[in-house]
Amino acid sequence: MAGSSVDTIDCSAEVCCLEVAQLKKLLFCGVRSGTVLVYPLEFRHDTMCIPPPEPLQKVCSIGLSKLEDRLAVAYEDTILVFDFNPGKDYPVIPGPIHKLAAPQHTVSSIAVLSDCSLLCGLENGEVSFLKDSNAVPLQAHSSQITCIAISNQEIHALVGSQDSIQRLWNLKLGLLDHEMKYKSFFFEGILCAAFSQDDQYVYTGSHDRSIKVWHTGNGSLLAVQYVYASVPRIVATSEGFIAVSHLGYIIKERFISPKIIQAQYNPLQNSRDQYTVTSRERAALPLLRAPAQQGKSSKPTLKRSQSCAVL
């Protein structure tokens, strides 16, 4: 179905990034001047403002925790973390509760957890997990990080980029669970991702104008739906997902996975695309250790769990 304009909101400068708090009904708009404008969706003519840090710098990315109790704003040189206070008609945002120096390269995607841990993806493909004042580098991509999605229970994170690889990380163990490599005939990389409400699946919107469904347990590809336009935003529903395409269409799909998937099942049987999944062995050691043990690094042992190629 085609989307239609409900309202137009004036903005003081060029918009760099957007985020929506569905539960709190707030729209966050980061602009080039460094200000974050906050619009209560039920009071659209009211506007709150998060002023920029000194010196003035543009907003690079905005992240919101799953419980909508933490907000992270990445600037060119600084990362600020905020919480929310109850207000008369809508929540209000006091001053930052944490301030960190941003990585050397520009943050292209940021995610925040309820315990104020941060996942930062950079324009050069690097990824860092910031927890308890410790910055742990995760396996880097070969191009800009475009998407970091956190599961509803904040156990997993999907990191995607402009290359053909997306990685599913276990945040509790600090381990890479699955590396999913999808080679499209025309385009590569993903734009957005969302976990299903039960965290069993993850939906991704890709540059190849498709929406894909992946299994978080084994990393396998379950379905591919071509929508003839790239999808920059996707949100999980109780039955599937709702996505918005660059052509302005709203896509609502219901997804039901079969209880038993046959070994010969192939979602790419009518496509030239190909994908592989590499999973870690369950005995692999975690990347995140106590500070006293950080001198001894260990890499997870990976094993090939699934491969599918259709030519």
Q: What is the pTM of this model?
A: 0.85
According to the model, what pLDDT value does residue 243 have? 95
Between residues 81 and 287, which one has the greater pLDDT? Answer: 81
pLDDT band for position 286 (50/70/90)?
low
Distance CA 50, CA 47 (A): 10
pLDDT band for position 1 (50/70/90)?
low
Is 234:243 a contact under the CB 8 Å cutoff? yes
The SS3 call for residue 293 is helix
Distance of CA 225 to the CA centre of its chain: 20
- Closest alpha carbon to 21 in 95, 82, 77, 74: 82
According to the model, what pLDDT value does residue 300 have? 41
Question: Residues with Cβ < 8 Å from 174, sequence gap 6 or more?
Answer: 129, 136, 286, 287, 288, 289
Burial of 256: CB neighbours in 10 Å, binned 0-12, 13-18, 19+: exposed
Domains of the chain with bracketed CATH:
15-196+272-288+298-309 (2.130.10.10)
Q: What digits encode the pLDDT tens for the residues 55-92? A: 888 999 999 999 999 999 999 999 999 999 888 888 88
Average pLDDT, the chain: 86
Q: What digits encode the pLDDT tens for the residues 205-231? A: 999 899 999 999 999 999 999 898 999
Which amino acid, 134? N
Distance CA 62, CA 302 (A): 32
